[in-house]
Structure 1
Amino acid sequence: MAAVVILSATTVATWLPGRADPASAAATTVNRVVLDDGFSGERGDDPDPGVWVFDGGRRDLARLDGDGRLLLTAALRTARTIEAGYGHAEARIRGIRAEGAWRALGVLDADGRVPYGRIDVLGSDRVGWDDFHTYAIDWTPTTLTWSLDGRKVLRLTPAEKGRPLAFVLNLSSGGFGTNLMLVDSVKISVRMSAPDWKTYTTYRAGQLVAYRNVIYRVREPHTALPGWQPNLVPALFAKV
Structure 2
Amino acid sequence: MNRHLTHLAALGLAAALLGGCASQPVPAAPAALTREAQAALTPDAVLQRLQEGNQRFTTGRQAPRDLKMQIKATGYGQYPMASIVSCIDSRSAPELVFDQGIGDVFGVRIAGNFVNEDMLGSLEFASKVAGAKLIVVLGHTSCGAIKGACDDVALGNLTGMLGKIKPAVQSVAYAGERSSKNEQFVEMVAEANVRRTVLDILNRSAVLREMADKGQLRVVGAMLDVKTGEVRFY
Common fold by TM > 0.5 = no
Q: When the two structures are superposed, what TM-score results if normalisation uses the length of structure 2?
A: 0.25
Q: When the two structures are superposed, what TM-score results if normalisation uses the length of structure 1?
A: 0.25
Rg larger in structure: 2
Bigger strand fraction: 1
Bigger helix fraction: 2
